[in-house]
Chain A
Amino acid sequence: MPKPVRAPMQAKWLDIGPITQIEPGMAATLPVEGGEEIAVFHTMRGEIYALVNKCPHKQGPLSQGIVHGESVTCPLHSWKISLRSGEALGEDKGCVPTIPVKVDAGRIYLLREAVVPPVQAARAAA
C-alpha cells in the first residue's frame, strides 16, 4: 500500500515525495480522498507537471498516455494534451485543470489548495 500523504492545513505545499519515483517520460497517479485523482508527469527533459487525471474528451486517464515533449497523448482516443496548460492541442477543444507544482531539493510539491477538495477546506475553516 502506498503511504498516505496527510495534508496539514498550514502547509501551502504538499510534499508528495522524491522526483526519482517517476521515471522521466512517465507519469504516476495520486488519488485524493473526496477529490479528483491527480496525474503527475515527469518529462524526458526532467520537468514535473501535474494535471487532474481526466482527459477533457471522455475522462480518459491521462497518466496512462505516452509522454512526449511537453504533452501527453491520451490512451483512449489519442487526444494530445499540453502538460503546461492542460489544453487539448491541435483541432481538439477542451481543457483539464492543472495543479501548480514546485520541485525543491529533489522533492515534488503540489499546491495544497489545488489538491485538497474545497469542501474539506471549507469544513476545516468552519
Chain B
Amino acid sequence: MNAPANFRQVKALPERLVVIGNGMAGCRAVEEILARDPARYTITIFGAEPRVNYNRIMLSPVLAGEKSFDEIVLNTAEWYAANGIELVAGDPVDHIDRERQTVVSRSGRVEPYDRLLIATGSDPFIIPVPGRDLPGVVTFRDLDDVDKMLAAAEGGGNAVVIGGGLLGLEAAHGLSLRGMKVTVIHLMPTLMERQLDEAAGWLLKTELERRGQTILTGADTQEIIEQDGHVAGVRLKDGREIPADIVVMAVGIRPSTMLAKTAGLECERGVVVDDHMVTSDPAVLAVGECVQHRGQCYGLVAPLWEMCRALADHLTDTPSGYQGSVTSTKLKVSGIDVFSAGDFTGGDGHEDIVMRDAARGVYKRLVVKDGRLVGAVLYGDTADGNWYFDLLKRQEDVSEIRDALIFGQAFALGGGAFADPNAAVAALPDDAEICGCNGVSKGTVVATIKAGACSLDAVRSTCKASASCGSCTGLVESLLVLTLGDEVQAGAKTLCKCTSFGHDDIRRLIVEKELRAMPQVMQELHWTTPDGCASCRPALNYYLLCAWPGEYEDDQKSRFVNERLHANIQKDGTYSVVPRMWGGLTNPTELRAIADVVEKYNAPMVKVTGGQRLDIFGIKKEDLPAVWADLNAAGMVSGHAYGKSLRTVKTCVGSEWCRFGTQDSTGLGVKIERMTWGSWMPHKFKIAVSGCPRNCAEATIKDFGVVCVDSGYELHVGGNGGIKVRATDLLCKVATEAEAMEHCAAFIQLYREQAHYLERTAPWIERVGLDYVKSQMFDDPEAVKRLAARFRYSQTFMQDDPWAKRAAGDRADLHQHLATVRPAPEYV
C-alpha cells in the first residue's frame, strides 16, 4: 500500500492541542475549533487562575456591584467536561520545551503537544516606584484583584487609582460606588488621552469630579508611602501627598511574552504571529492580547474574536487569515457615555466636524478624509457610535451626507430633504422654540427678519434670539439664509474661524456663565474645532486670566513663544533679555550685573532701548534661567519687554533736578511702574510721566501718559507712537499723586476687561469712543475706585517675578534640550 497522502487522516489518535491560558482568547479559540471539527484534537487547557473562564471585561461591573461572578462565567465546569477538555486550573505553565514538544507546569506536570496555543494575555504594568510591592497595592486584571479591592472597600477609607485610562476609571468608579473616597492620579493632562481628545477628556473629568472623585491630571507619582507595613498613601513628584488605604495601579498592560521569549520564539512587543496566528515555530500558535500581528498589539476583545476565527480555520485546514482590526472604545461607567474609534488626530486633508451641545453635555467630533470617515469621538450621546464605527470600518463614501453626518443616522439618512441642515430648520413648525434662553419661536424670528433684521446681530438685539447662551446661533443663521437668501449680512467679526462669537460676546459669556477653563469655553460656546487655533488659544487664555484672577491657571501652550520663555525671540532663534529699570533709573549694582552677564554669556550686543532701559542680545534658551538668576541676584526682575503686558514707564528728570519741573515725575513714574508691572493685558501697554508740558518723556503718545503741571496732573490716554501715530486724548485732570495712580489703575483695568485681545488702547478708544471710556469711569462716582480695586486684587497674583521662578527651576522643560545626539564613539 502506498503511503497515505494525508498522514493525519489515518492517524489513530487525535492530535494533542495544549492551550496555555484559560482566558477569553484561549477558550474562544477552543470553542471555534470545536465548532468546526469537534473530534480533531484532544485538548488540555492550562490556566494560572484557579477557576473557569469568565468574561474579564465584566470585572468592572462586578467591582461596581452590578454583577456577580456567577453571572460573568463564560465556560462552566460542565462545558469543559462535556467537550472532553481537561482544564488544569491554578497551575501555570512555567516552561515550553520545543525540542520535545512538551510543556511543564509549576506543579511539575509534563504535557506533550502536537500543537501548542499560547494565549497568556497581558500583564499589568507596574510603575517602578518605591513602595510598589507593599500590601495594599493592587492591579486590575483578574478576579483576585477585584476581591482585594472589595476587601479594602469594606472599611471605607481612601483609594488612589494611578492611571486615568479605561481600566483606571472603571476601577475608580467601582471603588467609589463601594463607598471609598477616590482620587485618580493621571500623568497626562487629559483623561483617556489615547481614546479621547482634549475636549471630551475635559467633559469626562468634570463629570467624574461632579460625582465626588478627585481627578489629578498632569500628576506624576514619586513613591508609595508605607505605614506599619501597609500602603498609606501616594507622594507625587510635586510634593503633594494623598492618603490611601488601597492603591490600584492601572497604568497600562504589556503583552505577556515571557514564556514564549524563553522558549526562543520570535517576540517583539508581543509574540510575533502571521495572518494564521502561527508563531516562528509552525507547531506553536498564539492568540489574544499576547500577540503582535502586523506590528500591532491589541488590548480589547473585538480583535480576539477575529483572531480566533482565523486560528481555528487554520487548525482545521481551511485557512482564511486575519487582516488586523480597527477598534472602538466605550467606557463602562454607568451614566457616562463615551465612545471613540479610529484616528482622530486630524492633520493634512483631514476635516473636523464638531458639534457641541452644552445644555445636554454633548460633544461629538468626526474626522473626515477624502470623503470617508476616519475617526469619531462622542461624549454624552453615543447612540450613533455603532453607525459611525460601521461607516468607518467599511470606508464608505460619506460626501453625500457629510453636512448632516454629525446629527446622526436618523437625521442623515432621514431622506434627502433632511441631509441639508437648512432644510431641517425649514421643516420646523412656526411655533417650534428656537431660543430656549429667551423663549423665542421660529415664527417670531422669521417675522423679525422679515421686519428688517438682516444680520445675526440685528436679530439678537431685536427679538433676543441667540443673544444669551448663543447655542441656537446656528439655527438663527439658518433662518436668516432661508428667509433672506443671499442677502444675509455677515455678522459681527468673530474671534477666529473656530467660533461664531465675537470677542465681546466671548468675554461677556465667560463672566456670565462662569466659564473657568479653556475646554469649558470651547464646549459651552460651541467651538467648531476640537482644541482651537493659534489665534483663539492665546486670546482665551488671556480672557480667562483676566476674568478669574488667582483661580485660572495660565496655559503655557497657549502662549506665544516670547511670553512662554519670558524673553524676545530674535531672527536667529536666540533671545534678548531686558531687565526692568524702574522709571528708567538704574544704579552701579544693576549696571555691574548687566555688564557681568554680557561678559559671562558672550552676549554679542547690549543696547539702550527706546524704553529707557538696557537690552542684552543673543542669549540661548538654555541659558536664560542662569542669566535671570544672575540678574535677580542684583535685585532686577523681568522687564516684560516680550509681553502683552506693562512694558515701560518712561520718566523725565522732573522737579528733583530739572529747572522746569513742576512735580516729581521720576518718583511718580517709579511708583506707577511698581503698581502696574507684571499685569497681563490685551496688548502691550506703555506709560510715561513728564514733569512739565515740554513733555520730555513723550507722555502724549503713550497708552497712559501723565503730564505734570503746577496745579496737579493731566492724565492722557490712548496714545501710540508705533505704526500709526496717535496723540493721546485728555481723560481728566487730578490734584494729587494718589489720584493719578488710582486713575491709572482704573483705566488699565477697564482696558483689561473690555478691549479685544491684541487691540492696543489707541484702536480700542477709536472703536468705543473717548466718551464711552469717560462714562465708564466717571458716570458712577464709585467706578474709578471699583475698577482700581479690581486691578490691585488681580495684581496680587501677578507680581511675582516670572524670571525668579524659572531661575529656581520651574518649567525647566521649556528651556532644556531633550538630549543631545552625538554620533557613537565608533564612528567619530
Binding between chains A and B: yes
A interface residues (Cβ-Cβ under 8 A, vs B): 2-9, 14, 16-17, 20-26, 28-35, 38, 40, 43-47, 58-61, 64-71, 73, 75-76, 78, 80, 82-85, 87, 89, 104-106, 115-117, 120-121, 123-124
Q: Given contacts A26-B557, A105-B269, A124-B827, is CB(A45)–CB(B822) below 8 Å?
A: no
New contact pairs (5) apart from A26-B814, A85-B348, CB-CB < 8 Å: A5-B821, A20-B220, A26-B813, A47-B345, A120-B823
B contact residues around A89 at 8 Å (CB): 348
Minimum CB distance partner of B352 in chain A: A69
When the two chains form their complex, are residues B817 and A28 in contact, meaning their CB atoms are under 8 A apart?
yes
When the two chains form their complex, are residues A21 and B344 in contact, meaning their CB atoms are under 8 A apart?
no
A contact residues around B561 at 8 Å (CB): 64-66, 75
Q: Does B187 contact A (CB under 8 A)?
A: yes
- Name the contact of A16 in the complex, choosing from B347, B533, B818 (C-beta under 8 A): B818
Q: Give B572-593 interface residues, CB cut-off 8 Å to A.
A: 572-573
Minimum CB distance partner of B574 in chain A: A61
Q: Given contacts A23-B189, A64-B561, is CB(A31)–CB(B817) below 8 Å?
A: yes
When the two chains form their complex, are residues A115 and B821 in contact, meaning their CB atoms are under 8 A apart?
yes
When the two chains form their complex, are residues B824 and A75 in contact, meaning their CB atoms are under 8 A apart?
no
16 A–B contacts, CB within 8 A, in A order: A2-B818, A6-B822, A7-B822, A21-B818, A33-B821, A34-B823, A45-B197, A45-B345, A46-B188, A58-B571, A59-B573, A65-B561, A83-B347, A84-B347, A106-B252, A123-B827
B contact residues around A7 at 8 Å (CB): 821-824
B216–chain A nearest beta-carbon distance, Å: 15
How far is it, in angstroms, between the C-alpha of A28 and the C-alpha of B352 when the chains are bound?
A: 27
B contact residues around A2 at 8 Å (CB): 816-820
When the two chains form their complex, are residues A24 and B189 in contact, meaning their CB atoms are under 8 A apart?
yes
A contact residues around B560 at 8 Å (CB): 66, 75
Q: Given contacts A20-B187, A75-B560, A121-B827, is CB(A69)–CB(B820) below 8 Å?
A: no
B contact residues around A70 at 8 Å (CB): 345-348, 350
B568–chain A nearest beta-carbon distance, Å: 10
How far is it, in angstroms, between the C-alpha of A68 and the C-alpha of B197 when the chains are bound?
A: 12
Minimum CB distance partner of A26 in chain B: B557
B interface residues (Cβ-Cβ under 8 A, vs A): 187-190, 193-194, 197-198, 218, 220, 252, 254, 269, 344-348, 350, 352, 529-534, 537-538, 556-562, 564-565, 569, 571-573, 621, 813-814, 816-828
B contact residues around A69 at 8 Å (CB): 346-347, 352, 529-531, 533
When the two chains form their complex, are residues A31 and B534 in contact, meaning their CB atoms are under 8 A apart?
no
How far is it, in angstroms, between the C-alpha of A69 and the C-alpha of B531 when the chains are bound?
A: 7
When the two chains form their complex, are residues B818 and A82 in contact, meaning their CB atoms are under 8 A apart?
no
B contact residues around A87 at 8 Å (CB): 348
How far is it, in angstroms, between the C-alpha of A30 and the C-alpha of B821 when the chains are bound?
A: 7
When the two chains form their complex, are residues B531 and A44 in contact, meaning their CB atoms are under 8 A apart?
yes
When the two chains form their complex, are residues A17 and B534 in contact, meaning their CB atoms are under 8 A apart?
no
A contact residues around B820 at 8 Å (CB): 2, 4-5, 30-33
B contact residues around A61 at 8 Å (CB): 569, 573
B contact residues around A59 at 8 Å (CB): 572-573
- Name the contact of A9 in the complex, choosing from B198, B572, B822, B826 (C-beta under 8 A): B826
B205–chain A nearest beta-carbon distance, Å: 15
When the two chains form their complex, are residues B818 and A30 in contact, meaning their CB atoms are under 8 A apart?
yes
B contact residues around A45 at 8 Å (CB): 193, 197-198, 344-346, 530-531
A5–chain B nearest beta-carbon distance, Å: 4
A contact residues around B573 at 8 Å (CB): 59-61, 64
B773–chain A nearest beta-carbon distance, Å: 31
B412–chain A nearest beta-carbon distance, Å: 25
How far is it, in angstroms, between the C-alpha of A41 and the C-alpha of B559 when the chains are bound?
A: 16
With most chain A CB atoms within 10 A of its CB, the pick from B220, B538, B564, B827 is: B827
B contact residues around A60 at 8 Å (CB): 571, 573
B178–chain A nearest beta-carbon distance, Å: 31
When the two chains form their complex, are residues A84 and B348 in contact, meaning their CB atoms are under 8 A apart?
yes
When the two chains form their complex, are residues B819 and A3 in contact, meaning their CB atoms are under 8 A apart?
yes
How far is it, in angstroms, between the C-alpha of A7 and the C-alpha of B826 when the chains are bound?
A: 10
B336–chain A nearest beta-carbon distance, Å: 21
With most chain B CB atoms within 10 A of its CB, the pick from A24, A67, A71, A89 is: A24
When the two chains form their complex, are residues B189 and A33 in contact, meaning their CB atoms are under 8 A apart?
no
B contact residues around A67 at 8 Å (CB): 557
How far is it, in angstroms, between the C-alpha of A91 and the C-alpha of B560 when the chains are bound?
A: 22
When the two chains form their complex, are residues B348 and A8 in contact, meaning their CB atoms are under 8 A apart?
no
- Name the contact of A30 in the complex, choosing from B188, B345, B817, B828 (C-beta under 8 A): B817
How far is it, in angstroms, between the C-alpha of A20 and the C-alpha of B818 when the chains are bound?
A: 11
Return the 8 tightest CB-CB contacts between A and B, nearest first. A124-B827, A25-B557, A70-B347, A73-B534, A64-B561, A75-B561, A61-B573, A32-B821
A109–chain B nearest beta-carbon distance, Å: 12
When the two chains form their complex, are residues A68 and B824 in contact, meaning their CB atoms are under 8 A apart?
no
When the two chains form their complex, are residues A28 and B818 in contact, meaning their CB atoms are under 8 A apart?
yes
B contact residues around A4 at 8 Å (CB): 819-822
With most chain A CB atoms within 10 A of its CB, the pick from B347, B565, B571, B572 is: B347
Minimum CB distance partner of A38 in chain B: B821
A contact residues around B819 at 8 Å (CB): 2-5, 16-17, 30
With most chain A CB atoms within 10 A of its CB, the pick from B193, B344, B818 is: B818
How far is it, in angstroms, between the C-alpha of A115 and the C-alpha of B823 when the chains are bound?
A: 10
How far is it, in angstroms, between the C-alpha of A87 and the C-alpha of B814 when the chains are bound?
A: 25
Minimum CB distance partner of B529 in chain A: A69
- Name the contact of B558 in the complex, choosing from A38, A66, A83 (C-beta under 8 A): A66
Q: Given contacts A16-B818, A82-B347, is CB(A68)–CB(B531) below 8 Å?
A: yes
How far is it, in angstroms, between the C-alpha of A58 and the C-alpha of B560 when the chains are bound?
A: 18
When the two chains form their complex, are residues B813 and A21 in contact, meaning their CB atoms are under 8 A apart?
yes
A31–chain B nearest beta-carbon distance, Å: 5
Minimum CB distance partner of B377 in chain A: A45
Minimum CB distance partner of B295 in chain A: A102
How far is it, in angstroms, between the C-alpha of A105 and the C-alpha of B270 when the chains are bound?
A: 11
B799–chain A nearest beta-carbon distance, Å: 26
How far is it, in angstroms, between the C-alpha of A98 and the C-alpha of B621 when the chains are bound?
A: 23
How far is it, in angstroms, between the C-alpha of A12 and the C-alpha of B823 when the chains are bound?
A: 13
A119–chain B nearest beta-carbon distance, Å: 9
B824–chain A nearest beta-carbon distance, Å: 5
A23–chain B nearest beta-carbon distance, Å: 7
When the two chains form their complex, are residues B824 and A9 in contact, meaning their CB atoms are under 8 A apart?
yes
A98–chain B nearest beta-carbon distance, Å: 12
With most chain B CB atoms within 10 A of its CB, the pick from A66, A73, A106 is: A66
When the two chains form their complex, are residues B817 and A64 in contact, meaning their CB atoms are under 8 A apart?
no
Q: Given contacts A22-B818, A104-B269, is CB(A8)–CB(B824) below 8 Å?
A: yes
Minimum CB distance partner of A69 in chain B: B346
How far is it, in angstroms, between the C-alpha of A113 and the C-alpha of B582 when the chains are bound?
A: 52
How far is it, in angstroms, between the C-alpha of A29 and the C-alpha of B813 when the chains are bound?
A: 10
A contact residues around B565 at 8 Å (CB): 64
Minimum CB distance partner of B536 in chain A: A68
- Name the contact of A33 in the complex, choosing from B252, B557, B569, B822 (C-beta under 8 A): B822
B contact residues around A40 at 8 Å (CB): 818
B contact residues around A121 at 8 Å (CB): 827
When the two chains form their complex, are residues A66 and B534 in contact, meaning their CB atoms are under 8 A apart?
yes
How far is it, in angstroms, between the C-alpha of A84 and the C-alpha of B350 when the chains are bound?
A: 12
- Name the contact of A120 in the complex, choosing from B193, B537, B827 (C-beta under 8 A): B827
With most chain A CB atoms within 10 A of its CB, the pick from B344, B529, B537 is: B537
B111–chain A nearest beta-carbon distance, Å: 32
When the two chains form their complex, are residues A28 and B813 in contact, meaning their CB atoms are under 8 A apart?
yes
When the two chains form their complex, are residues B345 and A9 in contact, meaning their CB atoms are under 8 A apart?
no
How far is it, in angstroms, between the C-alpha of A67 and the C-alpha of B572 when the chains are bound?
A: 20
How far is it, in angstroms, between the C-alpha of A9 and the C-alpha of B347 when the chains are bound?
A: 33
When the two chains form their complex, are residues A24 and B193 in contact, meaning their CB atoms are under 8 A apart?
yes
B822–chain A nearest beta-carbon distance, Å: 5
How far is it, in angstroms, between the C-alpha of A113 and the C-alpha of B350 when the chains are bound?
A: 29
When the two chains form their complex, are residues A116 and B821 in contact, meaning their CB atoms are under 8 A apart?
yes
With most chain A CB atoms within 10 A of its CB, the pick from B189, B345, B572 is: B345
B contact residues around A105 at 8 Å (CB): 254, 269
B contact residues around A44 at 8 Å (CB): 197-198, 530-531, 557
B185–chain A nearest beta-carbon distance, Å: 13
